[in-house]
């Protein structure tokens, strides 16, 4: 998704709009994809040359201190391998498939996880509109690859943002090493270093180098403050265009918040885009 889908979507958007660059607003796993794209030696330069400002809503990367009920239970019971055996392609689809998954999880977790909901996956808050939450639950969750769940279990199990773990033999084949390497987020720092040395001035960075605006939710069960600090440490300070915390917001408030909530963060995003 990071190496193929995201650059394709950016290219299509620029082609349709007949522009050279754009602003990217990403939520949750959309930011995981953007991080992976930016860390890649081939895709990274394209991403950074085409995106002026990256607005990251509840960016998912490190998950070691996440309090998501679903992911912590998946990690504690080591469910990724079981899920892969019983649901080899995808999970969290709606309808009968979701009911089957809930029954399966209820049995293997000895009754700890019997109903999948927005609250159990990423949490909700008082800032969320009840009506909008009801509308969201009609479509959420809406399908996810088992490999995705397996990868997120890795992020929960250790304080690393690393590539997919195929096991010792698989890793040797895929990466020529027994453990998966961490994503090379230093590419973001290297990009700024090169811009400084070539142009000789930090003032030009705003125009020529991708910046990021981090939007964190204070009541986010999926993305904890500690994990967000781990991510922040990977960026050069000059790259951070904004770092906003919205107290009382959940992981999904960006989509289902009440009118007051939207006024807060929506206004800030529009001002950022206009000022940038």
Fold of domain 5-9+20-63+185-275 = Rossmann fold (3.40.50)
Q: Where are the domains of the chain?
A: 5-9+20-63+185-275, 69-175
pTM of the predicted model as reported, rounded to 2 decimal places: 0.83
Residue holding tokens 């490999």?
A: 147
Check pLDDT > 60 for residue 207. no
Burial 83-107 (b: 16+ CB within 10 A, else e): beeebeebbbbeeeebeebbebbee
Phi, psi of 214 (to 5 degrees): -90, 125
> 211-241: per-residue pLDDT in tens?
999 999 999 999 999 999 999 999 988 899 9
> 33-92: per-residue pLDDT in tens?
999 999 999 999 999 999 999 999 999 999 998 888 777 777 777 777 777 777 766 666
| Three-state secondary structure call for residue 11 | helix
Which pLDDT band holds residue 127 (cuts at 50, 70, 90)? confident
């Amino acid at each position: 998704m990071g190496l193929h889908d995201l650059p394709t979507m950016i290219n299509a958007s620029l082609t349709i709009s007949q522009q050279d660059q754009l602003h990217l607003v990403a939520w949750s796993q959309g930011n995981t994809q953007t991080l992976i794209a930016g860390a890649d030696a081939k895709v990274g330069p394209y991403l950074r040359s085409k995106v002026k400002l990256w607005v990251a809503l509840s960016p998912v990367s490190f998950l070691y201190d996440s309090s998501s009920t679903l992911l912590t239970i998946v990690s504690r019971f080591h469910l990724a391998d079981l899920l892969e055996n019983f649901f080899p392609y995808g999970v969290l689809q709606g309808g009968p498939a979701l009911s089957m998954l809930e029954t399966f999880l209820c049995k293997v977790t000895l009754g700890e996880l019997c109903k999948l909901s927005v609250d159990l996956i990423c949490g909700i808050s008082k800032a969320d509109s009840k009506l909008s939450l009801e509308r969201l639950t009609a479509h959420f969750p809406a399908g996810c690859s088992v490999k995705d769940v397996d990868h997120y279990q890795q992020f929960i199990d250790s304080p690393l943002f690393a590539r997919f773990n195929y096991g010792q033999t698989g890793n040797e084949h895929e990466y020529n090493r027994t453990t998966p390497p961490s994503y090379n987020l230093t590419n973001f720092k290297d990009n700024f270093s090169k811009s400084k040395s070539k142009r000789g001035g930090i003032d030009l960075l705003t125009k020529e180098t991708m910046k990021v605006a981090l939007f964190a939710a204070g009541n986010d069960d999926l993305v904890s403050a500690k994990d967000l600090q781990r991510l922040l440490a990977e960026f050069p300070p000059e790259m951070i265009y904004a770092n906003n915390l919205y107290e009382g917001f959940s992981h999904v408030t960006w989509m289902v918040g009440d009118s007051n909530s939207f006024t807060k963060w929506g206004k800030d995003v529009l001002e950022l885009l206009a000022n940038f």
